[in-house]
Amino acid sequence: MHQLQENKMGVKPIPSLVLSMSFPIMISMLIQALYNIVDSIFVAQYSETALTAVSLAFPLQNLLIAVSLGTSIGVNSLLSRKLGARDIEAAEKAANNGLVLAFLSWIVFAIMGLFFSKTFFEIFTDDPQLIAMGSQYISVCLFFSLAIFIDITCERILQATGDTIHPMIIQSSGAIANIILDPILIFGWFGLPSLGVLGAAIATVLGQHLSALLAIYYVRRNKEIKIQKKYFKLDKKTVKDIYAVGIPSIIMQAIGTVMTTSLNKILITYGTAAVSVFGVYFRLQSFVFMPVFGLNSGMVPIIGYNYGAKRPKRMMTTIRVGLVVSLIVMTLGFLVFMLIPDTLLSWFNASQEMLDIGMVALPRISLCFISAGICIVLGALFQATGDGYISMIISITRQMIFILPAAYLLGKYFGLDAIWYSFIIAEGSSLILSLFYFRKEYIKRVKPLYATTA
């Protein structure tokens, strides 16, 4: 069966390979984006306090996702490289060690959920109802988070072997189950008690557990990688290689929370409508960016596999195909944001003040879409070859060094409408850095491979 896998990852035409690997991930990410919006709508219908409680819980949930997703990206990168090099033992160590790391990470978050949930909410408010709702919600989400760690790790293991259909089924099943269970448990349908935010938390973890069970089932059936007890013992070099990509990815995911929170603090000085427009933008842009992030996830194992197999031409062809697909997606997104911002805002029942702000904000922010898409695609090379720290440097530079200072200064001297140009400034800096590091990475990692295959 290893020869079959070699035929797909090492021989199948790159354009069809990239699309077949990426498209299922794109679909599952879009479904996840849809769930996030629907979940917020249901909670908001229950009460405004409930929505506030869930919103305040976001940083802890985002941290959980950052750790689980970042670690699994490290597993994915290492595993695909080892499969490409035909080092099956090292590949299985990567997969099994990854599952152990997922379990250890869960223990940390379970302890946080049990003992620190209430303390976390007391930082933001002294409203007893808000503290009670919020701590109830986040304690359930964190204590029962083993499922999401197992789910995400198994999905990335499957993707690294070239299987992207089953991860799509896994993630979509959990999200759809969550959407179905949300109103039943929140509002108490079919004779069940109305549980409010506790119901939202239970729906979330039940959906995650369904995904985890499916993930375990499909990983155990995978013919490329075996889950074996003998590889559960953590191997120092394997763990180091996983976190060489994983830790930068974790930091990249987590830094987004800092940026969003800080930018909201700048925008709130212009009124709540400005914050609302920014929130609406984040929800809308996920439908543009998620496909490109899915493209990135599909590209990483292809590049990693062919890097391990010493096939530089296939690596570079993958990047070229990725750039074309990204350009198409981002151009379409740009045109939609430029031409019909009023329609997009109307979906969120925007007030006149929101429309006035959003009609300026959405077109201006969309000017950075194409450059952002290029950066996401180029980042696949850094992750696939084990140099994930480069993506971290670019992300921190973009979000902390450029976007926040630019937003503050533009707002202070030129007003609210100028703040949206900070996104263009930040993405411009990211593009320059991405091209600079891509050239360095090409010279360091890719160019020498041409000599070995000449």
Hey, where are the domains in the chain?
19-234, 245-454
Question: Range with the lowest mean pLDDT among 8-22, 292-306, 437-451?
Answer: 8-22
Dist CA 92 CA 334 (whole Å): 42
C-alpha 409: how far from its chain's center?
Answer: 29
List the one residue out of 299, 303, 282 whose CA is nearest residue 348.
282
**pLDDT computed for residue 450 by the predictor:** 85
Mean pLDDT of 234-244: 85
pLDDT band at 10 (very low <50, low <70, confident <90, very high): low
Mean pLDDT of 127-131: 81
Residue type, 259: M
**pLDDT computed for residue 4 by the predictor:** 40
Contact (CB, 8 A) for 132 and 53: no
Contact (CB, 8 A) for 169 and 177: no
Mean pLDDT of 115-133: 80
Mean pLDDT of 191-220: 90
Average pLDDT for the chain: 85
**pLDDT computed for residue 301 by the predictor:** 84
pTM of the full predicted structure?
0.73
Q: Give tens-digit pLDDT for 139-171.
A: 999 999 999 999 999 988 888 887 778 888 898
Contact (CB, 8 A) for 171 and 138: no
- Does residue 19 carry a pLDDT above 60? yes
Dist CA 259 CA 250 (whole Å): 15
**pLDDT computed for residue 74 by the predictor:** 86
Show the CA angle centred on residue 103, arms to residues 259 and 395, nearest 5°.
20
**pLDDT computed for residue 409 by the predictor:** 94
**pLDDT computed for residue 20 by the predictor:** 85
pLDDT band at 193 (very low <50, low <70, confident <90, very high): confident
- Does residue 311 carry a pLDDT above 80? yes
Q: Which residue has the tokens 């842009």?
A: 285
Mean pLDDT of 339-355: 83
